[in-house]
């Protein structure tokens, strides 16, 4: 049985944003924190912090961002899944909504947006689209 912690985290963020919750808790993983760094840098979430004392209880509390009750995240789509990984070359990286959205890409140099990966001329696994 495969557990998709990234897919679960993205689904919780999407559902909490649509329900206009101020914060949401997801399970801790290093990959999740790297994705959250990108979302914070791009302005889709306010911040996040680690909660829980023991490793078994570790979670991440994500504080969602709103502009006059309108969520900053209107859509969050998981692209690459455990059963079907999606890889793209630097020249084939997608532009989400003509540049209004962001594609989060896992490259050999870390988790970055599609624009940063294109500038560095490196491709990778397309994790999700956010707008």
Give the pLDDT confidence score for residue 56 in this predicted structure.
82
Q: Which of 54, 71, 88 delimits the end of a domain?
A: 71
pLDDT in tens, the chain (131 residues): 568 999 999 999 999 999 999 999 999 999 999 999 999 999 999 999 999 888 888 999 999 999 998 999 999 999 999 989 999 999 999 999 988 999 999 999 999 999 999 999 999 999 999 99
Q: What is the structure's pLDDT at 1? A: 53
Domain count across the chain? 2
CA distance 103 to 49: 23
Closest CA to 45 of 94, 102, 2: 102
Q: Which pLDDT does position 75 carry in this prediction? A: 95
Token reading at 39: 């979302």
21: containing domain: 5-71
| Residue 20, domain CATH | 3.30.1370.30
Q: Domain boundary at 20, 49, 71, which?
A: 71
Q: What is the dihedral of CA 16, 18, 22, 23, to 10 degrees?
A: 20
CB atoms within 10 A of CB 99: 9
Query: So what's the pLDDT on residue 40?
Result: 97
> Do 18 and 56 reside in the same domain of the chain?
yes
Closest CA to 40 of 11, 7, 63, 16: 63
């Amino acid at each position: 049985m495969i557990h998709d912690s990234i897919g679960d985290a993205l689904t919780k963020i999407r559902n909490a944003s649509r329900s206009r919750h101020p914060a949401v808790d997801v399970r801790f993983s290093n990959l999740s924190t790297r994705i959250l760094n990108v979302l914070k840098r791009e302005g889709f979430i306010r911040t996040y912090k680690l909660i829980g004392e023991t490793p078994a209880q570790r979670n991440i509390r994500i504080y969602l961002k709103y502009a006059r009750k309108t969520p900053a995240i209107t859509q969050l789509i998981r692209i690459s899944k455990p059963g079907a990984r999606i890889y793209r070359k630097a020249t084939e990286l997608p532009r989400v909504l003509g540049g209004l959205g962001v594609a989060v890409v896992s490259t050999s140099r870390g988790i970055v947006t599609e624009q940063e990966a294109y500038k560095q001329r490196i491709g990778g696994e397309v994790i999700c689209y956010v707008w």
